[in-house]
């Protein structure tokens, strides 16, 4: 074999050493690139998993549509958890229905017939609330309201929330998530607070417009319609209540007495109570005095009333309400209350109370108050009372040194009162003696001889051991009379009816639907 042929054979048998090294280097490079790509993909998957577990995508998923506006899961959660809080902590509904806040919502039945869980109910409520809020907020903007009007209130709400968070040992963001679901953020919370405040402006506007728009003829027409007079008239009546004597169910040794014997004694005691009630009824018909009969039968103080009054038939005892409405003046009747006893009732009269309500302005100087470790109010110190008295005296002196008009009083109230938002001039309107104001406040207003333009200072102390309330001095100004209580009541009733009708029409233009993003809420 020639040298040239041997060389050719060697060249054809495989790569040269240099070529082999190049091939190995290229292979290593390809492996490096492959491993790098795999590493990048793995890192992306881990990051995506972490983001998913954080709720980033779920919070931004569309959970509902309200009037063409998409609500994210975070936004619908705001309404969901508010509905949940109101159900468990704002009423007795949860307790009455046997529901527990620590049990998952979708494991508790709300409506057996419809197979509706608590979660279903809260979602429905959330969607309805979002619909109403959006409709009212849009109405407010349409009517010319602006964010500037709610700026201070929005800041106050946010500040209060931050204070609550700090008091609970949370940061602001963590507190929102704990209260309103894991998707909640400060941005979403504050955005929806803004809508709530705008909605309240539109709601207040409409209710004020309706309330002030009814004429006296409108109010009288309501009174004359159907049975409305029954709900507005003042009823005067008397009653005696005869209850059977208590029957022992155990003997002196603590053993159960024969049930048949107990039932027989109970029946005998009830028969005796009825006999006394029958006797009392006949005595009343013959002109007997209720007080004498109460004494004769040794009735407890809460077992009789002589010439009691009730405003509206709804305030009457439900046991004898229906019967009392059928009696004529001076007529008496016996009413059975099951196995509990017998009422003897007398109807005296009914009338429409037209005594005027009162309008008053006031300025409050609070005495600084603290709370103890149990959250109960601690009475102000002598120094705190003295500081409050000094402040109210200075305000009263400033009023006396001026022109002493209602307008000047209102101006001082806006500038100096510790009550109100500084826009109402300290006005409380249409006050009735039965209203739930502090007694010192009402006593001053309805004191005999009180006349428009009168002023005075009254002191109020919160009840000992109370968890809410205030201490301080009121500087009072009596404006004068207003329409009677029954008219105020009718205005409120008509306003409620007409407002609900208006609102139903308004929200009817906002179609709603749930979307897939709602599936992650409340679970």
Residue 513 resides in a domain: no
Please say whether the beta carbons of 125 and 514 come within 8 A: no
The fraction of the chain above a pLDDT of 70, given in percent, is 89
> What integer pLDDT is reported at residue 467 of this predicted model?
82
Lowest mean pLDDT among 31-40, 86-95, 181-190, 424-433: 31-40
Mark whether 40 and 133 lie in a shared domain: no
CA atoms of 309 and 21, how far apart (whole Å)? 112
Mark whether 373 and 245 lie in a shared domain: no
Which helix H or strand E contains 116, and what residues bound it?
strand 116-117
Residue at which a domain ends, from 213, 244, 273: 213
Residue 105 resides in a domain: yes
> What integer pLDDT is reported at residue 373 of this predicted model?
79
> What integer pLDDT is reported at residue 21 of this predicted model?
52
Residue 49 has pLDDT above 80, yes or no: no
Residue 523 resides in a domain: no
Distances (CA, A) of 513 to 95, 119, 202, 517: 30, 16, 24, 11
Looking up tokens 């006031």, which residue turns up? 362
Please say whether the beta carbons of 154 and 29 come within 8 A: no
**CB-CB neighbours of 220 under 10 Å:** 14
> What integer pLDDT is reported at residue 45 of this predicted model?
37
Mark whether 191 and 100 lie in a shared domain: yes
Max CA separation in the chain (angstroms): 157
Closest among 441, 448, 443 to 426, alpha carbons compared:
441
At 8, the pLDDT band (50, 70, 90 cuts) reads: very low
Average pLDDT over residues 49-74: 73
SS3 235: strand
Mark whether 105 and 26 lie in a shared domain: no
> What integer pLDDT is reported at residue 357 of this predicted model?
96
CA atoms of 409 and 478, how far apart (whole Å)? 11
CA atoms of 238 and 307, how far apart (whole Å)? 5
In the Cβ-directed half-sphere of 407, how many Cα atoms lie within 13 Å?
1
In the Cβ-directed half-sphere of 345, how many Cα atoms lie within 13 Å?
28
Residue 251 resides in a domain: yes
Please say whether the beta carbons of 362 and 454 come within 8 A: no
**Burial call 383-400: b when 16+ CB within 10 Å, e when fewer:** ebbeebbebbeebbeebe
Range of 27-31, 189-193, 244-248 with top mean pLDDT: 189-193
Angle in degrees, CA 398, 401, 402, rounded to 5: 90
Q: Which two tokens stand for residue 146?
A: 């602006």
Q: Which two tokens stand for residue 126?
A: 């959330």
Query: Where is pLDDT greater, at 72 or 374?
Result: 72
Residue at which a domain ends, from 304, 334, 351: 351
Lowest mean pLDDT among 2-16, 312-326, 448-462: 2-16
The whole-chain average pLDDT of the chain stands at 89
Please say whether the beta carbons of 395 and 472 come within 8 A: no
> What integer pLDDT is reported at residue 466 of this predicted model?
84
Mark whether 90 and 208 lie in a shared domain: yes
- What are the two backbone dihedrals, phi and then psi, of residue 305, each rounded to the nearest 5 degrees? -150, 135
Mark whether 340 and 361 lie in a shared domain: no
Residue 411 has pLDDT above 50, yes or no: yes
Mark whether 75 and 206 lie in a shared domain: yes
Q: Give the dihedral sign, CA 410/416/419/424.
A: positive
Please say whether the beta carbons of 485 and 37 come within 8 A: no
DSSP tag of 33? H
Looking up tokens 């964010």, which residue turns up? 147
Residues sharing a CB contact under 8 Å with residue 93, sequence separation 6 or more, in sequence order? 87, 99
DSSP tag of 431? E
DSSP tag of 327? P
Containing structural domain, residue 137:
60-213
Residue 88 resides in a domain: yes
> What integer pLDDT is reported at residue 298 of this predicted model?
95
Could you report the per-residue pLDDT of 163-213, keeping only the tens digit for each?
999 989 999 999 999 999 999 999 999 999 999 999 999 999 999 999 999
> What integer pLDDT is reported at residue 26 of this predicted model?
52
At 309, the pLDDT band (50, 70, 90 cuts) reads: very high
Please say whether the beta carbons of 395 and 365 come within 8 A: yes
Write out 455-467 in H/E/C secondary structure: EEEEEECCCCCCC
Residues sharing a CB contact under 8 Å with residue 86, sequence separation 6 or more, in sequence order? none
Mark whether 320 and 292 lie in a shared domain: yes
Residue 492 resides in a domain: no
CA atoms of 521 and 519, how far apart (whole Å)? 6
Q: What is the domain count for the chain?
A: 4
> What integer pLDDT is reported at residue 37 of this predicted model?
44
Could you report the per-residue pLDDT of 437-493, keeping only the tens digit for each?
999 999 999 999 999 999 999 999 998 788 888 999 999 999 999 999 999 999 999
Lowest mean pLDDT among 27-31, 252-256, 367-371, 439-443: 27-31
Residue 390 resides in a domain: yes
CA atoms of 251 and 257, how far apart (whole Å)? 6
Please say whether the beta carbons of 69 and 134 come within 8 A: yes
Residue at which a domain ends, from 213, 244, 259: 213
Mark whether 49 and 162 lie in a shared domain: no
> What integer pLDDT is reported at residue 51 of this predicted model?
36
Q: Which two tokens stand for residue 19?
A: 């070529």
SS3 451: coil
């Amino acid at each position: 074999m020639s040298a040239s042929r041997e060389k050719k054979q060697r060249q054809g048998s495989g790569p040269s050493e240099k070529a082999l090294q190049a091939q190995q280097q290229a292979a290593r490079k390809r492996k490096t690139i492959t491993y790098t790509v795999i590493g990048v993909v793995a890192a992306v998957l881990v990051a995506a998993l972490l983001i998913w577990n954080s709720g980033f995508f779920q919070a931004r998923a569309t959970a509902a549509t309200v009037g063409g506006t998409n609500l994210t899961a975070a936004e619908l959660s705001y309404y969901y958890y508010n509905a949940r809080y109101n159900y468990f902590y704002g009423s007795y509904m949860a307790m009455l229905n046997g529901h527990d806040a620590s049990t998952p919502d979708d494991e508790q039945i709300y409506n057996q017939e419809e197979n509706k869980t608590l979660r279903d109910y809260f979602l429905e409520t959330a969607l309805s609330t979002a619909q109403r809020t959006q409709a009212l907020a849009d109405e407010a903007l349409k009517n010319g309201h602006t964010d500037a009007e709610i700026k201070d209130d929005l800041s106050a709400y946010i500040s209060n929330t931050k204070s609550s968070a700090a008091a609970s040992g949370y940061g602001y963001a963590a507190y929102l998530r704990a209260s309103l679901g894991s998707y909640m953020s400060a941005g979403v919370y504050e955005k929806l607070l803004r809508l709530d405040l705008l909605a309240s402006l539109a709601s207040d506007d409409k209710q004020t417009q309706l309330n002030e728009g009814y004429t006296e003829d409108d109010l009288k027409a309501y009174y004359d319609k159907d049975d409305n007079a029954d709900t507005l008239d003042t009823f005067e009546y008397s009653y005696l209540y005869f209850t059977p004597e208590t029957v022992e169910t155990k003997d002196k040794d603590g053993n159960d007495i024969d049930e048949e014997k107990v039932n027989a004694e109970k029946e005998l005691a009830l028969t005796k109570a009825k006999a006394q009630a029958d006797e009392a009824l006949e005595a009343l018909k013959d002109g007997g005095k209720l007080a004498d009969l109460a004494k004769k039968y040794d009735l407890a103080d809460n077992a009789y009333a002589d010439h009691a009054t009730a405003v509206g038939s709804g305030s009457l005892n439900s046991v004898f309400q229906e019967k009392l409405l059928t009696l004529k003046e001076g007529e008496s009747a016996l009413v059975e209350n099951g196995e509990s006893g017998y009422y003897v009732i007398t109807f005296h009269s009914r009338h429409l109370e037209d005594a005027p309500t009162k309008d008053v302005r006031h300025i409050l100087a609070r005495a600084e108050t603290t709370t103890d470790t149990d959250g109960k109010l601690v009475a102000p110190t002598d120094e705190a009372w003295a500081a409050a008295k000094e402040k109210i005296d200075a305000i009263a002196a400033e009023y006396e040194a001026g022109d002493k008009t209602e307008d000047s009083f209102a101006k001082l109230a806006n500038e100096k009162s510790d009550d109100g938002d500084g826009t109402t001039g300290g006005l409380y309107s249409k006050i009735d003696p039965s209203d739930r104001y502090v007694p010192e406040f009402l006593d001053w207003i309805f004191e005999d001889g009180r006349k428009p333009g009168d002023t005075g200072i009254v002191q109020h102390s919160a009840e000992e051991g109370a968890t809410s309330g205030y201490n301080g001095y009121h500087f009072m100004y009596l404006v004068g009379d207003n329409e009677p209580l029954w008219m105020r009541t009718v205005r409120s009733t008509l306003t409620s009816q007409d407002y609900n009708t208006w609102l139903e029409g308004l929200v009817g233009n906002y179609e709603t639907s749930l979307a897939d993003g709602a599936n992650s809420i409340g679970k």
